Structure formats: C-alpha cells, structure tokens
Amino acid sequence: MIIAIILFAMIIGIHEFGHFITAKKFGVKVNEFALGMGPKLFSWQGKETLYSLRLIPIGGYCAMEGEDEDSEDARALNNKKWWQRGIILAAGAFMNIVLGLVFMFVIQVQEPYYASTRIAYLVSDSTSMNAGIELGDEIYSVNGYRTHCATDMSFALSTAKDGVLDIVVKRGGEKLTFNDLHMPVEDYEGTKITRIDFKVARVDKNIGTVIASTFTETYAYVRMIYTSIIMMVTGRVGFNEVSGPVGMATAIGQVAEAGFRYSFMDGLNNIINFMALITVNLGIFNLLPLPALDGGRLLFVIIEGIRRKPIAPEKEGIVHLVGFVLLILLMIIVTVKDVWSLF
C-alpha cells in the first residue's frame, strides 16, 4: 500500500505538473497546486500559488484562475487563446505518457535481449507447422490484432477464445492467412491461457534497440488500453474487469508479491512495469472526449477554434457538471466493487 500510494502520488503529481508548467508558460495565474483530495494536511504560500498536500492520496488538482468560471483577470485561463488553453488541457495527459516512457525505459534497459515477431522455432508436428507456417515468417496479426511486438502478441492471446487463432504472417513481402489454428490451452489459477506452439527470434540489445523497444512497448500499452475500452463498450469485457484505485492497489500488491518471491529487483520491476501501464492508461483515459475529463474540455476548446467563438459557458458548465457527477458515481460503484472483492 505504501508503494502504491507513493507511485499514485507520482503519477497524479506529474499529470498536474503538466497543467501547471504550461499554465505558467502561457502566463495563466495558478491559485493552488494540490496533491491529494479532502482536508488539507499542510500547505505553503508561494509568490502567487498555494501549494498543498491533502489527506486522501487519490487525486489532485491545479486550480487556475478562470478555469471553471469567467474571470476579468487578464491572466485568467478563460482569457487566453483557444490553442493555448488546448495545450494546457492536454499537457497533463502528455506528461503521463512521458512518465510511462520513462518507466518503460527503466524496464527495457535491464533486459538482456528483446523478443521479435519473427518465428525462429516450430514444434515438430505442431498445429502451426502442419498449417504451413514456416521459419522466418513474421507474425503480422493474431485474430485481427496487429502485432508489432511481444506485448501485442500476449494481449491478442489473452483475448483468444478456446485457443482458436487466426494468424496472418508476412513471407517475402506477401501476407498469408492461416485460420482456425487450435493452440494448446492451459489452466492457470482458474484462468484459461492460450499458448503458442512456436518461438520467436530474439533481438540483440544495443542503444538503438533499447530505445526502439521502449517506444514500441509503450505504444503497445496505448493500443491495448484503447482496445480494452472498445471491448468494454461493445460488451466483450464485463463490468467485473473494471477496477478503480483500490483494485489497482490490490493488483500492485499481487504483481509485487509475485516478483518478490524471486528477488527484490523482480518485485520492484513488476511494480514499475505495472505503473507504466497505469500512467499511460490515465493519460489516454483523460484524453477521451468525455464531460468533466480533460478530453471533454479539450473538445469544447477545439469546437471553439473551429467556430471562431466559444460555446456559452453556462451550457458547457452544465455538461461538465453532469459528467462530473456521473464520473464520481462510477468511481463510488467501482470502489465498492473492489472493496467487496477483497472479502
């Protein structure tokens, strides 16, 4: 829990710092920069900004003049150009993705080598071999999911039903499709896991492959998050798969425990890898065009830029208020579910 709180604070702090630093850059007055929510533990007054630490270590905010209401102050957010407001709103999510890249780099730089998507070994008389897949084939997609790296392949396998795969490979510049390949399925702690009957070639480690793997794996997380959201909207993933801060803290404990069984560094790396997923998740989720989120506010700003005039503040305020109430209601429901599941 202590590790989870520290890392959550880092993720939230870097998000709000993105808003803070760009607001200062464009001359916007920041009234308060807070980490945490609820009652104030302590604070100190800067030249114009109040910096505070609050009791509940979930959330935080960068309160800017003219953010939620019109202000006559020339330095208020509502008096800045639409594109400046857009940059300030998007900066928080951007910083979360940057932090995800940093976390991912820490993981990738420790790896002795990396997995490619090129087949280097086929099990004799296996499903893949009998279907016509050959050594040297590049795995292009699995069940329609484009595979750029090992994480893409793992995610595609995790969503496979009953071990049946449709695999597309690239061979000599040509794409070949192999449908209805029945792969072995194993039971792991009550969960069905699809395994593949081939191995992929490794990529040697150097400065170029470290950087490439950092960006590729982070991009894989971004695609995984977007795909998961689509799966939830379309009903392929149930509500039980959704977790809030309590569920994420529990998951952090589980991945940490799994790593600490072997060594301290394994546990720490498991946590860092998981936090990379969470911070990228937060950045992507905040950019969704939903009311009360940064993406929802950004949508109104973009519409203003296209229309050359702002939408009536009272109308925008109602939209964000309704969105905020629904978001808080969702957080309460998810948190209750997470707490209930602990017992």
99 class by beta-carbon count within 10 Å (0-12 exposed, 13-18 middle, 19+ buried): buried
**Strand (E) positions, the chain?**
30-45, 50-64, 113-122, 138-142, 145-146, 164-171, 174-182, 185-188, 191-194, 198-204
Rounded CA-CA distance 158/1 in Å is: 28
CA angle 171/174/176 to nearest 5° reads 75
Catalytic residue (one of 16, 65, 217, 316):
16
- Is 16 a residue of the active site? yes
Which tokens sit at 44? 């100190």
Give the largest CA-CA distance in the chain: 76
Nearest of 128, 131, 57, 64 to residue 91 by alpha carbon: 64
What is the set of active-site residues? Answer: 16
